[in-house]
Amino acid sequence: MFVGNADQSLQNEKPMMNRDPQSSTPQIESKISCDRSHYHYDLCSINGPTVLDPTTSTFYVIGPSSPKLSMQKIKPYPRKWENTTMSNIKEVTLLSGPQSPQCDIIHNTTAIVFSVGGYTGNFFHDFNEGFLPLFITVRSMSLSNQDVMLVITRSRDWWVSKYTHLIAAFSNYPIINLDNETNTHCFKSATLGLISHGFMTIDPKLLPNPTTLLDFHYFLNKAYGKSQNFVSRDQMDRPKLVLISRANGTGRTILNQVEITTMAEKMGFNVIVFEPKPETSLSETFRVLNESHVMVGVHGAALTHLLFLRPGSVFIQVVPIGTDSIADMCYGRPAKEMGLDYLEYKIRIEESSLVEKYNKYDPILQDPMSLEKKGWPVLKRVYLKEQNVELNVFSFRKYLKYAYKKAKRFMYKVG
């Protein structure tokens, strides 16, 4: 999972949309405006009535406009720095001119247009490039789910089925699949593209009303039927620990998982081993995580489930060799923004399966940064695909003891 330069990604972020400096048509003559100044995304809008012709993926300005043709194009996916990924994202056109097609269906709503192509299917990216930017975009426009209709490219049936409750929380209306729709649709305005503030984060300074990652957590609560002050009715005396399992042969597996699980149970935890699969119900997943007191897992996409944890619960991220920076950026920083009690267990060389393949003095183990010059594919193969972990029981017990103490307090206070 390549995530780029987080610091660079926030250098040019701005809360307001600016006219595209490349556009030759002044705003007074055209209702189309684009902002292409950001690292992660482009954002375009039609600030007035518009009609969508889905057969050509084109939004037309309705009403008085410049007699001259004004056109912009956008790929509405917030990963614009990654050329290979963006080459597979459908381009959408915004057009202002003398003519526009007639409306087949009229909506008194704003269209928000985006793609679920790219890395969709990976749980981290489903949120990082999808639902979190969508949440930011809607909040930046101060819209409600009564005001928004989602127009989506690459909207596949499995994606709609998996995220039904979450999609419904954003909009009261059925989505429009831009890939197979044939009717023209009219909207009161349209925004194309999604706003990203960086990896798994929300910058409250960039929104009209202060909003944080914790507000996104509460939004998820609402989507899955939980209140902000949810208290479990389970009266068990043992705090619940969810162990995220990666026993699927794709790397970063805890080789002594049974031993770690047994140790946690003897310590007093009720341990739930959770291995997310494509067919796993997200509603059930939310319930399990939201009722837990501790989540433990090795760095990987499944740790995105930290968004389901209640503030004050404990999150332990096991950090394999060579993953320090992305572990912090993708999950460490968000965990702190979420108000979680975050612990980072960085494994030692002898806890990595890489010692079986490389000499323990090899730069791959001693100086992972030296491998960066070989590029992301090599880093991904070595540190994410080839590497498993065997946790030192004595060392990890200290983390579990701390987690148990915190979890008991949290359980008695919140449930």
| Cα–Cα dist 207/323, whole Å | 31
Residue 11 has pLDDT above 90, yes or no: no
pLDDT of 96 strictly over 70: yes
d(Cα 203, Cα 69) in Å, to the nearest integer?
Answer: 37
Q: What is the Cα–Cα distance from 255 to 390, expressed in whole angstroms?
A: 5
1 has pLDDT over 50: no
Q: How far is residue 117 from each of residues 87, 180, 400, measured CA to CA in Å?
A: 11, 15, 39
The DSSP bridge pattern shows strands 240-244 and 189-192 to be: unpaired
pTM comes to: 0.89
Side-chain half-sphere exposure of 274, counting CA atoms within 13 A: 28
Predicted pLDDT at 6:
38
Q: Is 278 exposed, middle or buried (0-12, 13-18, 19+ CB in 10 A)?
A: exposed
Listed in order, strand segments (DSSP E) in 131-200 are: 148-153, 176-177, 185-187, 189-192
Cα–Cα distance measured from residue 199 to residue 82, given in angstroms and rounded to the nearest whole number: 14
User: From 3.30.70, 3.40.50, 3.30.1490, 2.40.50, which CATH number describes the 240-414 domain?
Assistant: 3.40.50
Tell me: the pLDDT tens digits for 223-251? 998 644 444 444 568 999 999 998 776 78
- Which tokens belong to 195? 């706003």
**Per-residue pLDDT at 13:** 36
Record the tokens describing residue 24, joined without a space: 């030759």
pLDDT digits (tens, 9 = 90+) for 126-169: 999 999 999 999 999 988 888 999 999 999 999 999 999 999 99
Mean pLDDT of 326-336: 96
% of the chain with per-residue pLDDT over 90? 75
- Per-residue pLDDT for 32 more than 60? yes
CB contact set of 190 (below 8 Å; sequence gap of 6+): 45, 46, 50, 52, 59, 94, 110, 111, 112, 113, 151
- List, in sequence order, every beta strand (DSSP E) within 17-136: 32-35, 43-46, 50-53, 58-61, 70-74, 92-96, 105-106, 110-115
Amino acid at residue number 120: T
- Delimit the CATH 3.40.50 region(s) of the chain: 240-414
Among the ranges given (277-281, 314-318, 354-358), the one the predictor scored with the smallest mean pLDDT: 277-281
For 251-282, write each residue's pLDDT tens digit: 899 999 999 999 999 999 999 999 988 788 89
